Amino acid sequence: MFETKFVVVVREDLAVWQKLNVTAFLATGIAATKPEIIGENYRDAAQNVYHPMSIQPIIVLSTDAVTLGKIHQRTLQRGIRASLYIEEMFSTGHDSANREVFAKFTPEDARVAGLAFHADKKIADKISKGARMHA
């Protein structure tokens, strides 16, 4: 049905609250740069209006730190822009502090907690190889 995939990959050793937090933050990064994947407002039977959401499923995968690092490298090698959340961001309290700590790391030394990307299905499958559906 869709020619693209919206993929979130989280590190499997994170606490549940961290996985949920990372997934939420990463999804906003994709939504902010891909307005074409956002649908129309929702309206219930009482005519209350709710925010629009993604028109396509968001695939949430998990994997270990080593594989997540490889997935990160694959996004860079293929020129696929991603949302990236590093472990140090858990200890900050706001966006500017996140940016400050984020800027201290290179792709080689970042302790990636999760990443998200939106790409052609075949490319997305190749990039996310080694990760599995989050359980």
* Residue 135 reports pLDDT greater than 90: no
Q: Which one, of 18, 24, 17, 3, lies nearest residue 116 by Cα?
A: 24
Q: 1 pLDDT band (50/70/90 cuts)?
A: confident
pLDDT at position 41: 98
Which structural domains are found in the chain, ordered by start?
4-133 (3.40.1490.10)
Q: Angle 35-85-24 (CA atoms, 0-180°, nearest 5)? A: 50
* Residue 134 reports pLDDT greater than 90: no
Report pLDDT digits (tens) over 65-95. Answer: 999 999 999 999 999 999 999 999 999 989 9
Residues ≥6 apart with Cβ < 8 Å to 52: 38, 39, 40, 41, 42
